[in-house]
Each structure stands twice: as C-alpha cells, then as structure tokens.
C-alpha cells in the first residue's frame, strides 16, 4: 500500500475542512430573518440540488485525470473552457474578500482600539500582508489545517450541545413556511457549501480511488449538510426570535451566551472564544483561497498564451507573482466597491460558481454524446440543478433589488477581451 495515499477517513476529514467554512455562521441571522425556524430547510434543499452536480464533478475529474475547469468545458468550445475557469478565478476571490472582512469585523468587536481604524483599511492591510506571504510561497501545512478545523468546530459544537440541552419546541410553534423566502435564501445556503468542488480533485490521491473516491465525497458532503441543518435548527431553538431584529452575525454568540450564562463571567469570555475561533477559521480560509486560486489563472494562461509566457510569471520562489498581483487588485476592488457587505459578495461568488458549474456539466453532457458514455443522464440532472440554482440566484437579486456586482461584470468583460485578442485555440488531445 502506498504510504503517500490518503485513507478514506483522512479524505473525509479533509473534505469536511474544505466544505465547512464561515458560511454557516454568517448565514445564521439571514436565514432566521427570512425563514424563522425553517432556515435549516434551505440547507436541506441545497443538499439535494447539489447531489447530481457533485457526482458529475467527480466524473469529470476521472475523465480528465484531474484537469481543470477549462478542460471540463473546452470540449464544447475553447471559449466555454476559458470562461468557465476565468469566472471561477475572479468569482472565488469574492469569497476571499468576505472572509477577510469577517476576520477584521470580529477583531474590531474583540479589540476596541481597532475600531479607531477604518475596517476597509484593515481589510486592505490583510490583503497586502497575504500578498507578501504568497510571494514567499508560504503554504498552510497539514498541522495548521487541522488547527483551523478544530477552531471551526468549537463554535459549531457549542451551539449544537447547548441547543440540545436547552431544547424546547416553543419557538417552532405556529410559524408558517414562506416558499418565496425559501427561494431567496438558496444562494446563501449554497455559499455555505462552496468549496465542495475542490474535494473532487482528491480522488486521484486516495487508496482504492474507484471505491473510496465516491464514498469520500458523498460521506463528507452528507455530514456537512447534516451539520449545517442541525446547527441552524438549534440556533433558532436556543435564541429564536431574538435574531429577527439583527442584521449581522456578530450578535449570534452574544445573544446565545446571554441566554446560557447570563450574569456570569462565562458570558463575556465565551463570546471572545467563539469569535476568535470563527475569525481564525475565516482568516485561514481566505489565505487558502488566495494561495490556491492564483494557480487557476496560471493554468489558464498556460492553455492559451503563445510561447512560454506563463513560465515568465514565476518568481525565484516558484510562485506565479503576476497571478498573485492580479488577485490582490481584484480583492481590493471587491472590498472597496461593496464596502465588505455580505450579500453582494456572496452573490458574486455564487454567480461565478453557477456559471462555472453549468459550463462544466454541459461539457460532461457533450462528452457523453460524443463517446456514448454512461454519464448522459447524470449530466442532464446536473444541468437541471444548475438551472434551478441560477433561477434561485435571480430571485435573490430581485429580492434585494440588486444587479450583479459591477466589478464582476467588468472582470468578465476583460476575460472576453483577453480571449478574443490573445487566446489561441486549445489543441484537443
């Protein structure tokens, strides 16, 4: 047995670490505001919708031997492959910007002197600091990843344990489900699971990948949905309607610990511990996105630019410095345009992912037609899932009376211009 191969248990742990992020914390008040005790239903609906998409992505990883989003869609046309990976690259950075803003907001809540500084100035400082670390090729090793996962689980387990202990059906009585509001919240719930696409790339690193690959993806995704549903349900049971008047997740744990430890020192120190854990987890997620996402642009450049232009982008530390500088510019654009607002950054990230996933599963459909593959029906169901997610996202935009973020539209336009002027036809093999 190859000692460098991942066991099924290790793969499930890594998948959980990738999927479970700060989304379930920042969504808590939004879901209560829209759906009350039915907020957890959003996670259950997304869990069902994403299932065929996850299976389709796993098939694409096998077919293309890992590959990239460009490879998944390029079978349709090189433009489809380019836009698939370009949208993923620019849209994923909206999630990075939001994670950094979450960290800074929590730090300002914990350390009063930081409130004397502009939040956006602190956000920008973190981005520039991350840029320097990336230039040095400093990656987060396995032990740090485990630490981030442990920190992430502290507030989740805290809500689950105390929610079970203080369980009461009182808050769940006489509250009707508003279907329209459910549709509005689907993109928020989807944001909580963004990152599942990265787990598909683990298939080729597993022991017995043909058997353990699908198991690792399905088990970890199922556990993630179960944790999210349980967390949101118990959040409402624990502090219920008190969250209705809140417009920020920063009130979640102060209200929860007030209900549990009212009048004791644990109320104060418990909030500090929870916010510190979430802040560190968000910071780790932001750095991981920034570190790994730069290679998406580097890979894309390698598909289409003439001669060896991408090789010239590597520094002496073997990092794609041009890609990192591009990331910094995009993240700063998102932060300063949205002022770090949760909804537009989430919407931008989800819009980009839905575009990428749609191109990818249509690429699987095209591959199945050409090769008479068995993935045809799976690709059809996955495409339907993408269309439904897009419809829910439009519903979300209509509810908040927003249009897609101007920076994202501008960046997509730049991508079209790059393809038309510099990108060569990808030679299919």
Instruction: Give the confidence band of 149 by pLDDT, cuts at 50, 70, 90.
Output: confident
Q: What percent of the chain has pLDDT over 70?
A: 88
Least confident span in 23-27, 72-76, 393-397, 401-405: 401-405
Q: Which of 405, 289, 292, 384 is nearest to 340 (CA)?
A: 405
CA distance 282 to 408: 22
Of 212-226, 230-244, 344-358, the range with the highest mean pLDDT is: 344-358
pLDDT for res 259:
81
Q: How many CA atoms lie within 13 A of 98 on its CB side?
A: 23
206 pLDDT exceeds 80? no
Task: Select the more confidently predicted residue: 141 or 268.
Answer: 268
CA distance 288 to 278: 15
pLDDT for res 310:
60
Task: Select the more confidently predicted residue: 293 or 207.
Answer: 293
Kindly state the average pLDDT of the residues 222-245. Answer: 87
Kindly state the average pLDDT of the residues 225-253. Answer: 85
pLDDT for res 429:
40
pLDDT for res 244:
77
Kindly state the average pLDDT of the residues 316-326. Answer: 81
319 pLDDT exceeds 80? no
pLDDT for res 276:
92
CA distance 148 to 348: 25
101 pLDDT exceeds 90? yes
pLDDT for res 84:
94
Q: What is the DSSP letter of 405?
A: -
Kindly state the average pLDDT of the residues 40-53. Answer: 93
Domain residue ranges in the chain? 8-422
Task: Select the more confidently predicted residue: 425 or 136.
Answer: 136
The SS3 assignment for 6 reads strand
Number of Cβ within 10 Å of residue 417's Cβ equals: 10
Topology of domain 8-422 in CATH is Amino acid/polyamine transporter I (1.20.1740)
8 pLDDT exceeds 90? no
pLDDT for res 1:
45
Least confident span in 15-24, 65-74, 332-341: 15-24
Kindly state the average pLDDT of the residues 61-81. Answer: 86
Report CA Rg, the chain. Answer: 21
pLDDT for res 336:
95
Kindly provide the b/e burial profile for residues 320-333, where b requires at least 16 CB atoms within 10 angstroms of the residue's own CB. Answer: bbbbbebbbebbbb
Q: Whole-model pTM?
A: 0.89
Instruction: Give the confidence band of 313 by pLDDT, cuts at 50, 70, 90.
Output: low
Of 152-166, 200-214, 301-315, 350-364, the range with the highest mean pLDDT is: 350-364
Task: Select the more confidently predicted residue: 273 or 204.
Answer: 273
pLDDT for res 426:
45
CA distance 307 to 317: 22
CA distance 8 to 75: 32
Tokens linked to 94:
């909206």
68 pLDDT exceeds 80? yes
Round the average pLDDT of the chain to a whole number and report it: 85
Q: Which helix (H) or strand (E) holds 378?
A: helix 376-399
Query: What DSSP assignment string belongs to 181-238?
Result: HHHHHHHHHHHHTTTHHHHGGGGGGBSSHHHHHHHHHHHHHHHHHHHHHHHHHHHHHH
Instruction: Give the confidence band of 67 by pLDDT, cuts at 50, 70, 90.
Output: confident
Instruction: Provide φ and ψ at 297, rounded to 5°.
Output: -70, -40
């Amino acid at each position: 047995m190859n000692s460098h191969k991942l066991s099924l248990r290790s793969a499930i742990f890594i998948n959980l670490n990738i999927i479970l992020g700060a989304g379930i914390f920042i969504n808590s008040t939004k879901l209560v505001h829209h759906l009350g005790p039915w907020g957890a239903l959003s996670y259950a609906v997304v869990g069902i919708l994403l299932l065929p998409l996850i299976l389709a992505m796993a098939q694409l990883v096998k077919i293309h031997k890992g590959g990239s989003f460009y490879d998944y869609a390029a079978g349709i046309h090189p433009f489809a492959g380019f836009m698939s990976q370009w949208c993923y690259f620019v849209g994923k950075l909206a999630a990075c910007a939001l994670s950094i803003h979450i960290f800074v907001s929590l730090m300002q809540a914990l350390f009063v002197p930081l409130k004397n500084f502009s939040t956006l100035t602190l956000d920008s400082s973190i981005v520039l600091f991350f840029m320097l670390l990336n230039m040095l090729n400093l990656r987060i090793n396995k032990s740090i990843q485990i630490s981030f996962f442990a920190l992430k689980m502290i507030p989740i387990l805290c809500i689950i344990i105390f929610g079970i202990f203080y369980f009461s059906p009182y808050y769940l009585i006489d509250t009707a489900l508003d279907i329209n509001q459910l549709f509005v919240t689907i993109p928020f719930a989807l944001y909580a699971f963004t990152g599942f696409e990265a787990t598909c790339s683990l298939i080729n690193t597993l022991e017995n990948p043909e058997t353990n690959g699908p198991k690792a993806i399905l088990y970890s995704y199922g556990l993630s949905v179960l944790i999210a549903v349980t967390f949101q349900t118990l959040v409402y049971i624990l502090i219920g309607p008190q969250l209705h008047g809140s417009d920020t997740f920063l009130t979640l744990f102060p209200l929860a610990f007030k209900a549990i430890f009212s009048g004791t020192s644990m109320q104060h120190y418990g909030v500090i511990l929870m916010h510190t854990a979430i802040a560190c987890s968000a910071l780790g997620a932001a750095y991981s996105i920034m570190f790994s996402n730069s290679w998406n642009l580097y890979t894309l450049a390698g598909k289409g630019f003439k001669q060896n232009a991408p090789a010239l982008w590597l520094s002496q530390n073997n990092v794609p410095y041009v890609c990192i500088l591009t990331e910094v510019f995009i993240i700063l654009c998102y932060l300063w345009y949205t002022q770090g607002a949760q909804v537009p950054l989430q919407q931008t990230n989800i819009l980009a992912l839905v575009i990428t996933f749609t191109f990818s599963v249509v690429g699987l459909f095209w591959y199945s037609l050409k090769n008479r593959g068995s993935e045809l029906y799976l690709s059809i169901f996955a495409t339907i899932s993408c269309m439904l997610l897009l419809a829910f996202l439009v519903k979300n935009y209509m509810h908040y009376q927003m249009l897609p973020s101007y920076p994202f539209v501008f960046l997509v336009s730049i991508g079209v211009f790059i393809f038309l002027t510099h990108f060569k036809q990808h030679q299919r093999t």
